[in-house]
Amino acid sequence: MEPNNTRRVIAAGTIGNVLEWYDFAIYGYFAAAIGRTFFPAEDPVAQVLAAFGIFAVGYLMRPLGGIVVGHIADRFGRRAALTFSVTAMAIPTFLVGALPGHDVLGVAAPILLTALRVIQGLSVGGEATTAMVFLVERAPPGRRGVVGAMASCGASFGILMGSATGAALASSMSPEALEAWGWRIPFLLGLLVGLAGLFLRRHIADPPGGATASSAKSPLVETLRHHGPLVARLVGLVAFNAIGFYLVFLYVVTWLQTVDGLAPERALSINTASMVLLLPVMLVMGWLSDRIGRKPPMLAAAAICFVLALPLFWLMHHADPALVMLGQAGFVLTLGTSLGIMPSIMVEATPLGVRCTALSLGYNLAFGLMGGLTPLAAAWVVDRTAIDLSPAYLVMAAAAVSFVTLLTFRETYCDPRPAD
């Protein structure tokens, strides 16, 4: 592939992912304000749980979204799927920002919010994996690891944009204004984000045959009949990333405020710094996997995180921002390793004819059933047990599952092309 064409492919596959994940992530960052707007309750914990419950509903729709968008990608091409997904994200995001709260609409407000989150979940379910497949399939020989890491970087940069936007708003507005209307600003910008995504993807051209058209009339049926064990292994492989990422980089923003008592702007600023550090870690580890293999760094990352999860959460359970940042930095190094290498090993392990469908199903089952429920589960466990460090055990369990599952995958970094 020519260098200029490589850059165009990376821009089309990655930047659209940036925009999608910005839209989806800002909900997590403003969960407390959303809870107070749409869920009247005397108990602040109940409001946060309700807000994260709707967050989880969006994630539970991801497997269905992965099936729908994966089918489009396998049957009609990656471009059609990517265009559909970015459109289905931007419009509901804008509407969340414009939706009146419970004081105006009553019970209809949380119902409409749930419906919009469902549509967003369908979109993200197909976007993340289709972008991974698009990038890895188009990568030059010997660079699938680092190019695939661009997909994870795109998602992380989108979440970074959401965190940076939240920090900027929290530092420039009074708490009263931020809760009353300031949290709506990033959502209203979703429409512009969607238009930008469509513009960036307008010139994507699917390669003739092969990687864009499946020989199976129904990729889903083909996947369920012949590739069920592979889907199950993909779920186990992604567990560490799903639980770890959304616990450490989404839920922790709320945890630092409710458990440690940090101001919202301080919690968001720390998270933003962590996301900045995460980007080069993922790129370096993707590059490293093109030279020493996919499995050794991923196995080491899961093992180290299993051992250090509790001490790292202990560091974050301090009022000193330096100690909090040190704890998050430990998770950045371990999770960044796994996140950076994950796209290439998953695409390389999945057959071409059902690649988007099978990969989307496994990936989204993990993120829907595990990652999407993680903030809700963590908030509930902390409230019920009064053990502030209890979220660490969720990370440890996920790391153990992914470590064992990874042992069942063969090494693929030397293969001349992704598996047929």
Q: Over 393-405, what HEC string results?
A: HHHHHHHHHHHHH
Distances (CA, A) of 85 to 81, 88, 172, 179: 6, 5, 33, 30
In a domain, 232, yes or no: yes
How many structural domains compose the chain?
Answer: 1
Amino acid at 190: G
In a domain, 173, yes or no: yes
Containing structural domain, residue 194? 3-406
Stretch (H or E) spanning 414:
none
**According to the model, what pLDDT value does residue 47 have?**
65
Q: What share of the chain is helix, strand, coil (3-state, %, to 5)?
A: 80, 0, 20
At 127, list the tokens: 């976007």
In a domain, 411, yes or no: no
Check residue 40 and report its DSSP letter. -
In a domain, 280, yes or no: yes
What CATH number does residue 312 fall under?
1.20.1250.20
Distances (CA, A) of 134 to 17, 40, 62, 101: 11, 44, 19, 39
From the CB of residue 329, how many other CB atoms can be counted at a distance below 10 Å? 17
State how far the Cα of 391 lies from the Cα of 399, in Å rounded to an integer: 13
Walk along the chain (420 residues) and give the pLDDT tens digit of each residue: 555 566 777 877 787 778 777 876 777 678 778 878 887 766 666 666 677 677 667 777 878 888 888 888 888 888 888 888 888 888 888 898 999 988 888 888 888 888 888 888 888 788 888 889 988 988 888 899 999 999 899 887 887 787 778 778 878 888 788 888 888 998 998 788 778 778 777 777 665 544 445 556 788 888 888 999 999 999 999 999 999 988 888 788 778 887 877 777 788 778 888 888 999 999 999 999 999 999 999 999 999 999 999 999 999 888 788 898 999 999 999 999 999 999 999 999 998 888 989 999 999 888 777 877 788 788 888 888 878 888 999 999 999 999 999 999 999 888 876 755
State how far the Cα of 148 lies from the Cα of 359, in Å rounded to an integer: 14
Residue 189 sits at the vertex; the CA angle it makes with 187 and 194, to the nearest 5 degrees, is: 105
**According to the model, what pLDDT value does residue 257 have?**
82
In a domain, 418, yes or no: no
Longest dimension (CA), the chain: 60
In a domain, 17, yes or no: yes
- Which long-range CB contacts under 8 A does 284-288 form with residues at least 24 apart? 284/340, 285/149, 285/336, 285/337, 285/340, 285/341, 286/145, 286/146, 286/147, 286/148, 286/149, 286/150, 286/152, 286/340, 286/341, 286/344, 287/145, 287/146, 287/149, 288/145
At 402, list the tokens: 């992914």
In a domain, 58, yes or no: yes
Closest listed residue to residue 190, CA positions, set 82, 90, 69, 68: 90
Name the packing angle between helices 44-60 and 62-76 (round to 10°).
Answer: 30
In a domain, 415, yes or no: no
At 355, list the tokens: 């690649």
